[in-house]
Amino acid sequence: MILLKFYSNLSPFKRVILALTLGISAGLFFGEWMGNLEIIGNAYIRLLQMTVLPYVLVSIIGGLGRLDAHMAGRIGMKAVRIILVLWLAVMLTLILLPFAYPNWETAGFFSSSLVADPAVFNFVDLYIPSNIFSSLSNTIVPAVVLFSLLMGVSLISVKDKDTFINLTMSVGDTLMGVASFVAKLAPLGIFAISSAAAGTLDPEELGRLQVFLWVYLIAAGLLAFILLPLIIHWATPFSYREILSVSGEAVITALATGTVLVVLPMIIERTKEMLEKHDMDCEETRSTVDVLVPTAYSFPSTGTLLGLGFILFSSWYVGSPLTFEQYPSYIVMGALTAFGSMAVAIPFLLDFFGLPADQFQLYLLGSVVTARFATALAALHGFVVTLLVASAVVRRLKWHRMFQAIGLHLGVTAGVMIATGLALTYLIPYEYEGTQNFESMRLIGTPAPIKQVSKPEALSAEKLAQPRLDIIRERGTIRVGYFSNALPYSFRNNKGALVGYDMEIINELAADLDLKIEFTHIKRRGLENKLLSDGRVDIVVGGNAITPKVALELAFTKPYTHHTAGLVVLDRFRDDFASTEAINEMEELIIAVPGNDYYSRIAKKHFPNAKQVSVANAREYFKGMHKEANAFIFSTEAASAWGLLYPEYTVLVPKGLKFKAPVAFELPKGELAFVEYMNIWLLLKKDNGFLESVYDYWILGKDPQPKEPRWSVVRNVFGWDI
């Protein structure tokens, strides 16, 4: 009873903070078992999203429809211009946030997003709804917003519109009632989300989340104490100190309650007092305040837009920052999706930019802190927008001074973010472990026995006349030729063992046939034909691409995977290689190619003006032995593995570069029975899921072994297994 009474006396804000604290504590105490609460967290998220789009629809229509034509014409264009300028200023601020992200070395395994077609910015589909109900059901926020704006503007000139406007207000109030009920469940939802996250997230992920929180809070401070009050101070008769002191009560109230709705009357009253103090009180300015404050509440505020910075953080977090070409769509899409709540906008933008959907969980974990500051910024935004429009109505707004304030703010923000990035780099512990993790990889299955042979002997003429498969079975060994450093297909790990994608498959083959393996190192490409034909090697592995010329000399199995052509460049130059069109405009372009005509022809086709530099192997390029080359054309699957060892490089597929080559095992020419058997065996391994699991492990980096449970007090301190 005492605890229940204590809880009931807490404010909603304190309840959420308590739930967050208890959730994180429970996650650390019980560990991964708390992941079972994820379903409750997901249910809470869906409840949050449920009323957003319907509320956006009716609030925008009703807010605009309440205006009369004369008032709308007098106020509308000025308000639109000012709001758009503020939106642009905030979105440009967001683009500066990546300067604050630490310059940590990161690299990852191959990702299918490298070769997936990027989302196409289709203006018609995103903004012009052919069926508004379809747009609502598919959460296409920009289309819903445009429809609502057009409906609201059209409603201004409609006669006898009071009944409809009252209906939108009633529906809006009803939806707000539902939202209020859901808000009461916030402690439960936050507890479930935070406990599941704290119990299952890696410490590294939690460590990186603090980067987002620090950058967010610093950006919020810059917007609250530089951009918004400075615009008022420079562009209107109101002073810097005046706007902060008058808006302080509303800002703190919004911060404490978590909603701007409760402070709208306060904003209206305080702005009218400021207008009267500066002899700007007239019918036009009073009407501006009465109409604009509730109407602007339906539009994205500075606080709302700031939440979109998570998309930039998420792209940095996964090691795939947005390119310069993506920023325009980010600005436009961000502003329009912000009409809904972040619970809708963030998942939509994550999907649009090809970022992992589970990043939304990280956003929600941090939103317990960020949401309050967003609400406080929204209250300040309401004051600033209203005063700017009122000043414009009576011709007291200095537009050039407004743009000067924005320019100064962006300059200060850039400097602060660069300094923040340097500080976070040194203050937050971080150590790159990609090289160590890759070099320590082991075979998934049990390695087949290895027969040590110092120098394999060629088969006699009599033996060569027999089917190779019969010789292999009779001998009890299969002779495997491999290329060293053929990452991630065949290489030696830090224990000196031969491992890799192809090695995993060969060991499985040997186990199925009860064979031992004789390994032969092939020093360079081109020697395998002679070794296969004279019997010193039975099969050659190492990520071998099927090419027309090689297929004339050797036999191949059916493909078991593919090489996708891409480019390897230094991280700092990645934006310069976003498309083949941009690359071909470079002067004195030099591209490194492997020492065969396979990639040379690809480079010649897509980059006809580029000078080519031949490299003997990938390690030469990654070790910086060809610094004259701007880029290295290579398999993205293989280059991603090399990137783990040399994280200063990045792997990308420029827009316009589309080329894939099948990968197969090389076999002796004319051994049809051997080829047929290998094809059947590969088909069996594909159907039973073995090839997929090997691909996931060696190419995508997914560990098939059960993970050790996360550290928890229950398991690691008390020794309980739950």
> Quick one: pLDDT at residue 129?
78
- What local confidence, expressed as pLDDT, does residue 258 receive? 63
Residue 635 to residue 567: CA distance in whole angstroms: 8
- Bridge partner list, 564: 660
pLDDT (0 to 100) of residue 419: 94
Residues 6+ apart with CB under 8 A from 403: 85
Do 182 and 48 touch, CB atoms closer than 8 A? Answer: yes
Looking at residue 116, what is its pLDDT? 64
491 in helix, strand or coil?
strand
Instruction: Answer whether 0.75 is exceeded by the pTM.
Output: no
Per-block mean pLDDT, blocks of 10 residues, the chain (722 long): 70 72 83 82 75 74 72 75 91 93 77 63 66 78 76 83 85 77 76 76 66 92 94 92 84 68 72 88 73 68 90 83 83 80 79 76 76 86 90 90 94 95 83 85 91 82 91 94 91 92 96 94 85 93 90 93 92 83 89 82 88 89 90 93 90 87 94 95 95 94 73 73 66
CA quadruple 285, 289, 292, 296: dihedral positive or negative? positive
Q: What is the dihedral of CA 324, 330, 331, 335, to 10 degrees?
A: -170
Residue 254 confidence (pLDDT): 72
Position 122 scores a pLDDT of 57
Walk me through the domains of the chain, giving residue ranges and CATH numbers: 2-97+123-429 (1.10.3860), 448-559+664-698 (3.40.190.10), 563-660 (3.40.190.10)
Buried b (16+ CB within 10 A) or exposed e, 499-509: bbbbbbbbbbb
CB contact set of 365 (below 8 Å; sequence gap of 6+): 193, 194, 197, 209
Cα separation, 640 vs 700, in Å, equals 9
> Rounded to whole angstroms, how far apart are CA atoms 193 and 23?
8
